[in-house]
Amino acid sequence: MAKMLDGPVPDGARSVAWPWYHHLLSTELTLDARKLLAAYSRVPQDQMESHIYSIRDKAWGIFPWPCVGEFWFLSFGLAKHPLYKNMVLPRLKAGQALLDVGTCLGQDIRKCIFDGAPAANLYASDLFPEYEDLAYDLWRDQDRLPPGHFFAENILAENATFTSGPLMTQLGPASVDIITMTMFLHLFNYENQLKAATRILRLLSHKPGSLIIGSQAGSIDFGEQTLKPPFHRSETGTKRTVFRHNPESFERLWKEASQATGIPLRISAVLQAPTDFLAGADSSFDLAVKKRRYLTRSETRRLYFSIMRT
């Protein structure tokens, strides 16, 4: 049975009547996504949409995340970060290693490969082991990204389980130069975000300049927010909350993680994207407030961050 981090799929969550299950592609199939599927995956144009629908429905069967229903696996969040072109990609081309935490179908590391990063140094992790084969089905690239680069891991597992798990034993502590997280930490409450942050720091290289980078749902007003149905209850029936950060609360979180691990960090976070960042992005940032607020609120914004070891 597919599970969330603390229990099985909530009752009714797989219904395709939820508004975040998009029955038809519209703006999700961007020019960037078409280009990658055509040039990298060699999916014929006349088969592209049916290919995407098939993959999405298989992913929905693994777990019905709203991001899956909305085809977010066609969005390359890392490439939109202002540091991608001028810092991340050059480092990868020079041989540094990257781990994508919460990879879903591995879209960000495929974009890195397409942009010239060596596949040998790119790794990915997610909760569901089924994502590895499904990502190969989507991107058709097992000849370019060999098995052994995906680690099925529960970042919130008991300490003994995590320590003996694949990230710590196969990839290894302090083993990666860059860790990316796109739309990941916002899945958790504050306590679990802090737990995940300290675990992630254990994987980051000891070298000064090692980098954690990404984006997530943020908010003008920080705090715990109760999720809406069908994800609003845990397996035990308690309310499930997620913590939404503004830049100040996000910085406090990582300062706590820094103190807990003894790892010195320089932390930067912004809500949405300042205008002067746009030149560094592959495509425009989401500057407007999201119009369709199924799981968001009027104060919701995108939060972009970078965390550097000093």
Query: Are the C-beta atoms of residues 198 and 188 closer than 8 Å to each other?
Result: no
Q: What is the mean pLDDT of residues 263-292?
A: 58
Per-residue pLDDT, 5: 57
> Is pLDDT at 142 greater than 90 in this prediction?
yes
* pTM for the model: 0.91
Q: What is the mean pLDDT of residues 181-196?
A: 96
Per-residue pLDDT, 285: 35
How does the average pLDDT of the chain come out, rounded?
90
Query: Are the C-beta atoms of residues 255 and 261 closer than 8 Å to each other?
Result: no
Band (280; pLDDT cuts 50, 70, 90): very low
Residues contacting 213, CB < 8 A, separation 6+: 78, 81, 83, 88, 178, 179, 180, 181, 305, 306, 307
Structure tokens that stand for 243 in this block: 């913590």
Per-residue pLDDT, 275: 43
Band (157; pLDDT cuts 50, 70, 90): very high
Query: Are the C-beta atoms of residues 103 and 150 closer than 8 Å to each other?
Result: yes
> Is pLDDT at 223 greater than 70 in this prediction?
yes
Q: What is the mean pLDDT of residues 23-40?
A: 96
> Is pLDDT at 282 greater than 50 in this prediction?
no
Identify the residue whose tokens are 């972009």: 304
Burial of residue 180 (number of CB atoms within 10 Å: 0-12, 13-18, 19+): buried
Per-residue pLDDT, 235: 78
Going by their DSSP bridges, the two strands 211-219 and 300-309 should be labelled as: antiparallel
